[in-house]
Structure 1
Amino acid sequence: MYHLEEPASAYNLIEYFKIHQMNSRAVQEKGRGKGMINYTLTHPGLLAALAESGHGSQILLADANYPHNTGAPAAARRISLNLRPGLLTIDQILEVLIDAVPLEAAAVMAPPDGNWTEAVKGYESALGARVPITSHQRFDFYDAARSPNVAVVIASGDTRHYANLLLTIGVRPDGAA
């Protein structure tokens, strides 16, 4: 049996959820219980990747035009959520991530005119004042996204230009369970 106190390797996390799923099915058969994971984020690979990340690790939410394989470090975990053009959008993914991990900073790719795109204005609204957003010109953003701190690359189906978002994981508040 795996316990949450064990190191959060991908294997341990997946095994934990398999056991939890089996236990949930047994409870459901008895008429008590609502499902396997009572949480907004249910993607096993993304759960494992986030569990393996820590304070200062970065998550790249890449739009459909971003070079997913060459635009990030080889060691970063790749999560493909680009089902079709327009699905999933970075906004949809961000909504789930905000609930899943503490965030301390964000960076975006600025278009040549330097103005924030509608996508970035949406990120600013979703993240609120608690998460500062900085902007980088295209090639500076590529350099930042290739940093060894990038632990997770999420390929989206977002077709908006300059929709890429680089998030930095913060710390959990004291006493948070």
Structure 2
Amino acid sequence: MLRNLPQILSPALLYALRAMGHGDRIVIADANYPAESSGPECIRLDGITATDVLAAILQVMPLDTFVAAPAQTMQVVGDPDAVPDIVAEFQTLIDETADNPAQISTLERHAFYEEASSAFAVVQTGEQRIYGNIILTKGIIAP
């Protein structure tokens, strides 16, 4: 056991977060996302919501301040301006938890898959709300 770490951060996820460098990306994916076949290492957190995982990751990982979009979600197919409830919840968590809050930007579905395919890892959650996917870019911790 370790102190001051969210308990849902598994050993594999902690390793990935620590091994990531500035500019590396991690995907938090819902239960419908094709995580195992998307390319990057898949870290499974079945039964845990994407919002709980986002909150835990933001407690230990800074968002990048050198890129325009350190948090990206998938646009709703057929309605790119829609903001699903889970995306609004992601934004609230970023605003309240991130050391460098940022506005979420969106990507068209296939563009999201393309960006996610080059991420450091994909965290497959048990999230059942659709569009519960987010890409985070890791920043730095200033001296």
> What is the TM-score when the length of structure 1 is the normalising length?
0.69
**Percent identity of the aligned residues?**
31
Is residue 2:50 matched to residue 1:94?
no
Equivalent in the alignment of 1:162: 131
Residue type of the alignment partner of 2:112: F
**Structure with larger RCO (C-alpha < 8 A, sep 6+):** 2
Name which of 115, 120, 136 aligns with 1:151.
120
RMSD, matched Cα: 1.4
SS state at 1:103 partner: coil
Deviation at 1:173, TM superposition (A): 2.0
Name which of 41, 49, 54 aligns with 1:77.
41
Deviation at 1:138, TM superposition (A): 0.9
Deviation at 1:77, TM superposition (A): 2.9
Residue type of the alignment partner of 1:39: N
What does 1:1-177 align with in structure 2 at a 5 Å threshold?
36-42=1-7, 43-71=10-38, 73=39, 76-82=40-46, 87-104=47-64, 105-112=70-77, 113-114=79-80, 115-128=82-95, 130-147=101-118, 150-174=119-143
Q: Distance in 2 between matches of 1:119 and 1:61?
A: 12
Deviation at 1:132, TM superposition (A): 2.7
> What is the TM-score when the length of structure 2 is the normalising length?
0.85
Deviation at 1:167, TM superposition (A): 0.5
Deviation at 1:44, TM superposition (A): 1.2
Flag structure 2 segments of 5+ consecutive residues without an equivalent: 65-69
Question: How many residues get paired?
Answer: 130
Larger Rg: 1
SS state at 1:108 partner: strand
Residue type of the alignment partner of 1:106: A
Q: Distance in 2 between matches of 1:89 and 1:136?
A: 21
Flag structure 1 segments of 5+ consecutive residues without an equivalent: 1-35
Q: Distance in 1 between matches of 2:103 and 2:20?
A: 20
